Amino acid sequence: MKLTTVKAGLAALVLSTAPAFAEYPQRDIDLVVGFAAGGGTDVMARTVETYLEKHLGNGANIVVKNVPGASGQIGITEVAAAAPDGYTIGTYNLPGMMARTLDREPEYSADSFTFLANVVDDPNVIVTSKASGLESLDALIEKAKSETGAVTVSMSSLGGDDHLFLMKLGEKIGAEFTIVPFKGSAPARTALIGGHVDMAIVNVSEVANFADELNIIAVASEEESEYAPGTPTLKSLGVDIVNGARRGFVAPAGLPEEVETKLLEAFRQLENDEEFQAAMKETANPVDLTVGKDFRTLNDQQLELAKEVWEVSPWK
């Protein structure tokens, strides 16, 4: 505590007395988005961009650069390899980016990054089709346990948050599901509405408008979500799982300390920025800020979870 105060004081002293150390940022900051323009991560990045510029001050200008491909792997690899000067940051998805270190051989690891902030936490929800007649968690568990693979579950892909969540769920309730991985959550949801599968794992922001067409069984968050009011949390139903899709920002490892401090500070200020919170709500992005070291801890927990699942049932 004392040490950080001294450090901060020193930093302030250095900044105020030495004009040779020009204040960050001096030029445009590249924000590498690993997905195509218009997708969920892109919209999140572009919303955050505006407010991050505001809190960085100093006329900061952030330029979004879409580097899509290989579910974000191309973009994040570019960030990992960039110069750690604070002029390249990138979007970071959990558990995806860590799961890729298991099922592929990427040129990055958790140590390649300076963890800035996780901004979005979109908890998993269990939804069932009207046709399935499964209207409660108990009914669902009963059917799932009746026979191996008795319940068909659609989801967006293998190795994503929905998959890891489902494996965890199966382990906790002692059942095995039949996984039907679609290409993305929209078709997975449509298949559920059409009654072609019994159940789906999606994220809470994706079911907000579909309360009439689906049964929303439970949400895997600590508290009730404003995107699915009235839906019980899994915890409250006695199944202790909290999981979701997380989207945040990282920079290459080894950022200069004053740059890192400044970026973390800017992210911290998003917490109380009401305009920002409103803009995120507008774009269906549930905000849950986790900054700096806490974000790294979160990352390691997610890697641990992915490893557990990978060891028991590798999806590839």
Residues that bind other proteins (CB under 8 A): 36-39, 43, 65-71, 73-74, 77, 103, 149, 152, 157-159, 178-183, 186-187, 189-191, 193-197, 209, 315-316
Structure tokens at 310: 């990978």
Structure tokens at 133: 């007649």
Nearer to other proteins, 145 or 296 (CB): 145
- Report yes or no: 211 and 130 within 8 Å, Cβ to Cβ: no
What's the min distance (Å) between Cβ of 277 and other proteins? 22
Quick one: CA dihedral 168, 170, 173, 174, positive or negative? negative
Quick one: CA dihedral 183, 184, 187, 192, positive or negative? positive
Cα distance between the two ends of the chain: 46
Distance CA 17, CA 11 (A): 10
The secondary structure of residue 233, as a DSSP letter, is B
Nearer to other proteins, 27 or 104 (CB): 104
The secondary structure of residue 314, as a DSSP letter, is -
What's the min distance (Å) between Cβ of 119 and other proteins? 20
Distance CA 282, CA 15 (A): 38
Distance CA 73, CA 106 (A): 8
Nearer to other proteins, 9 or 149 (CB): 149
Nearer to other proteins, 93 or 290 (CB): 93
Nearer to other proteins, 66 or 302 (CB): 66
What's the min distance (Å) between Cβ of 143 and other proteins? 14
What's the min distance (Å) between Cβ of 99 and other proteins? 10
Please identify which residue in the block is written with the tokens 């046709």.
Answer: 131
Strand partners, 127: 200, 216
What's the min distance (Å) between Cβ of 216 and other proteins? 16
What's the min distance (Å) between Cβ of 294 and other proteins? 30
Nearer to other proteins, 22 or 36 (CB): 36
Nearer to other proteins, 45 or 289 (CB): 45
What's the min distance (Å) between Cβ of 312 and other proteins? 17
**Residue 85: CB partners within 8 Å, gap ≥ 6?**
255, 256, 259
